[in-house]
Each structure stands twice: as structure tokens, then as C-alpha cells.
Amino acid sequence: MHLDRIRHPGLRAKITSAEQAALLVQDGMTVGMSGFTRAGDCKSVPAALAARAERDPLSITLITGASLGHDTDKMLAQANALARRMPFQVDTTLRRKINQGEIAFIDQHLSETVEQLRAGHIGPIDVAIIEAAAITESGAIVPTMSVGNSASFAQQADKIIIELNLGVPAAIEGLHDIYVPTDRPARQPIGLVSADQRIGQPFIEVDPARIAAIVVTHEPDSPSNALPPDEETNAIAGHINAFLRREVDAGRLTNSLLPLQAGIGTIANAVLHGFESSSFEKLRMYSEVLQDSAIELLDQGKLAFASASSITVSKPVYEKILANMEHYRERIVLRPQEISNAPEIVRRLGLIAINTALEFDIYGNVNSTHVGGTHMMNGIGGSGDFARNAHLAIFVSKSMAKNGDISSVVPMVSHVDHTEHDVDVLVTECGLADLRGLAPRERARAIIRNCVHPSYRDALQDYFDRACERGGQTPHLLEEAFSWHQRFNETDSMRPSAPVERKVA
């Protein structure tokens, strides 16, 4: 049966075992692997590579679209097979080794990785390992549930290993739109002017002579691990809906809004769920990942079209999509991540970009990546691609973490991923701060009034008041700026030991 999936007859002889294919990867090589937020990753060759590395020392640079499923990062990290890793990850074992300084992690804007490869700033790619649903008559690759960086990996690699996943229906062909910008200095505009437009091919064109091995698999993608909405995420969604409603009422947006982008994870997923009960209609998404909420909005008819680079969903939603691929293929397009996240397109379309902050400060600077300013969580992902260029850059966070021992709103973020220039709106379950057109001191007042949890509000106001006494465009007390983080390190809580004495206003 799987021979139907390899329509280029000369390539059928390339079918081999994962172990044999993995031998193409040698110590010191740079490997480009498919996979974006657990979707469309390779299932068998990485495991074979890790098993081999347990026996024979192997150290590679691994570049992907974004995070992988199937414990691939864990297995490779445990086997000491990773010298360098980019541009994103979410695995606890890999994260521990990154933070111990054992694995070099290069945290990148997700639109930029293949640009850097093309420019020769990183790479070159020795071996690309790409999951496919089919290989066409000409040897072109039909991707599966993500595109990520696969197109450029395959086009740039010396050798290509295909994982042909028979568990993905052949009807997925046509879901993808593969467009790769041409080299400079003769590069042309990316011609995309609406979320539902197709500007490329439904497959990745490669020289079939570079396809060195084909491994047959059947395994599904690892399911999404997003948690269901809760009271706080519902409150965040409510604040955003009310804000967008006011924008429509003010004539700054139509009732179809502008294309939506939502980051990966529980809060962003919950925020999108909130649109189900909104009065907006004929919404479109231009995002990097589609989660359960996007599929449900499509099914409900609230969402008219969704463009992304991957589909990362729970098991039942995954099975529904695979069983109804012809239906979804008309309503979803998957693109290379340098197109889904392209600054050029994000600004042209004017996205409403909703991303998650780890913490933010009184001036609206956002930390998306570093716990306590030092330890990597996952990576910046696409949040910078979207926030910098969006029509509206919205960041969301619960106001507190760790049962209230951490305030997500702090005097100064311990690490900056997004500067105040790039942050329009901040939202917690407590409320929404609209920062557009405000100077830093005005931003601080709006954030303290609307976003910080009441149990931290007085302390934050006190910091801001005392900082203002010293003056400046962005008043701070440098000797106290990280005192909340230090207190957490010392006492496991940011809470002040004694109540702040408030001056009479």
C-alpha cells in the first residue's frame, strides 16, 4: 500500500530501516528535522539516532521548526547527542542540560532560522530528516501536520531522509502552500495579501537524487498538552473580547476584526475559545500554530479560514481532522514558518497578535523566556515576529503563579524579550491595560491599576512612586529593581514580609 505514497518509482528502492537511515548522520553534523510544536515531527529515525548515541559517541547540531513530540529532545539529550540546539524546545531534560550549560541553545525568532541558514550565518545542513505523507512523481515531498522549516532544510541539505507516515491520510496533499523567498539581492516581495491565499506549491520540490533513505512509519503526532480553560483564562478572554468590541464600536476594526494570531499553550488556547461566545463573525487566523480552539471555531463557523505552520491538537481533534481531511483542506493552509511568521506579512495584514508573557513590568516590557532572569523555559518562538509588526500586540498572563508566591507583574522584568515599544495591550484576569500612545509613566499607572493582582498592587505602586521621585523617562530604583525576584530566590515567595506602608496621597 505504501508504494502508492511513493509515486516516483526510482525512490521506492530507498526504503530502509530507521537504524540504517540514522547511519547517514555522522558525528559533528548539522541536522535539520521537521516538527513544529509537536506536529509533523519524525517518529523513528531520531529514536534510532538516540539509541545509537547511547552506544557510540555522537554529537550533532539539531535545528527544527520548533518543539518536537515523542520525547525526541529528551532521548537525544539523555544520550548526549546534542551539542547545539535551535531555535525552540520545551523538553524538561533538554532544558536542564541547557541551563547547566551542557548544550548550547540558540533561542531565535522563528521566522529567522532559515534566513540565517541561507545567509550562511549558521549551518550548512548536512542531513534533513522530514516527515512526509507522500512523495510525488517528481520526487517532491508532501509534508504532514506541519511545515516549519522543512522546505528550506530539504532544499539545502546534502542528504534527505524521509519518514513516510502512513497514518496520515493521502488526502492531506493540497493542505500545504510552500513558498520559499529567493536569494538576495534579487529577492521579490512575498505576494501574499490575504490569509487564505496560496502563492506556492502544495509540496516541497527537491532533487530526488538527494533523497538518500525512506523509512515507513505509522505513528500519530504527540497530542497537545494544553490544559482546558479555567476561571482566570476565561476572565482574560472576556477582557480581550470586550476590548475588541470597543475597537469595533469606535470604528477602528470591523466586526470581522483583522487576522488573529495566537501563541502556543494553555492561555492562548483559552483566549481563542473565548471568541466562540463573541459577536464577531467571519474571523480569519494568520498564525503559526492551530490548537483545539481554532478547529472548534472553524467547526462552529465563527472562523472562516485559518493559516498557520502547524496543527497541534488533542487526540480526538487530531483524529477528527485526519478523518475529514478533504473538509479541513478547504479551510486551512499550512505554510513555511518564515511565511507564517514573516514580518512583511504580519504588518501588511495587520494582525491581532495574542501571546503569553512569563512576566511583564510596570512599563510593559515582557519576559517570555527566562525564569528568574537566568533559566530558559522554552524560547521566544514567534512572539517577536508577531508582536513587533502586529496591528495590535497583546500579551496575556495570569497575574500570579505558584499559588500567589510569584507576581507576574514586577518592577522590572528580569529578562527582556519584548520591549515596551512592541507591546500595545497587557491582560491578566484582573483586567486589561491599553498602552497605545502612552508614555512610560502613563503605562505604569495603567498597568498597576488594571493588571497586577491586588495583593501585590500596593507594593508595586510604592516602588513606582519612590522611583518617580528620582525622575527619568522610565523611573527605576536600580538597587531594588530585582528585589522581588531576589526575595523569591531567598524565601520562595515574592510577597513582602511586612505590609507596605502607604503614604497619604
Is the Cβ of residue 251 or residue 454 nearer to its own copies in the bound state?
251
Strand residue runs (E) in 166-234 = 211-217
> Mask of contacts with its own copies, 406-425, x by CB under 8 A?
--------xxxx-x-x--x-
Contacts of 50 (CB under 8 A, 6+ apart): 72, 75, 76, 78, 79, 81
57 preceded by cis ω (within 30°)?
Answer: no
CA distance 37 to 31: 18
Residue 210, Cβ neighbours under 10 Å: how many? 14
Taking the complex as a whole, how short is the minimal distance between the CB of residue 438 and its own copies, in angstroms?
A: 7
Catalytic residue among 112, 288, 296, 429: 288
Do residues 423 and 368 touch, judged by C-beta distance below 8 A?
no
Q: Cell numbers of 379, please?
A: 524560547
User: Is there binding between residue 505 and its own copies (CB under 8 A)?
Assistant: no
Count of residues touching its own copies (by CB under 8 A): 81
Residue 55, Cβ neighbours under 10 Å: how many? 8
Taking the complex as a whole, how short is the minimal distance between the CB of residue 263 and its own copies, in angstroms?
A: 16
Residue 288 bears catalytic tag:
yes
User: Is there binding between residue 335 and its own copies (CB under 8 A)?
Assistant: no
Taking the complex as a whole, how short is the minimal distance between the CB of residue 417 and its own copies, in angstroms?
A: 6
Residue 6 is classified by DSSP as: B
> Mask of contacts with its own copies, 73-112, x by CB under 8 A?
-----------x-------------xxxx--xxxxxx--x
> Mask of contacts with its own copies, 238-267, x by CB under 8 A?
------------xxx-----xx--------
User: Is 378 marked within a binding site?
Assistant: yes
Taking the complex as a whole, how short is the minimal distance between the CB of residue 473 and its own copies, in angstroms?
A: 4
Candidate list 218, 436, 449, 502; residue touching its own copies; CB under 8 A? 436
CA distance 226 to 249: 33
Candidate list 27, 54, 92, 119; residue touching its own copies; CB under 8 A? 119
CA distance 131 to 302: 32
Taking the complex as a whole, how short is the minimal distance between the CB of residue 420 and its own copies, in angstroms?
A: 8
CA distance 322 to 130: 19
Window 189 to 228, contacts with its own copies (CB under 8 A): 189-191, 193-194
Window 16 to 75, contacts with its own copies (CB under 8 A): none
Would you call 65 helix, strand, or coil by DSSP?
coil
Angle (nearest 5°) at CA 264 between 260 and 266: 105
Length of the chain: 505
**Binding region for its own copies (CB under 8 A) out of 71-79, 205-213, 431-439, 446-454:** 431-439
> Which positions are annotated as active-site residues?
288
Which amino acids are annotated as binding site, given as ranges?
A: 378, 382, 402
| Residues in binding site for CoA | 378, 382, 402
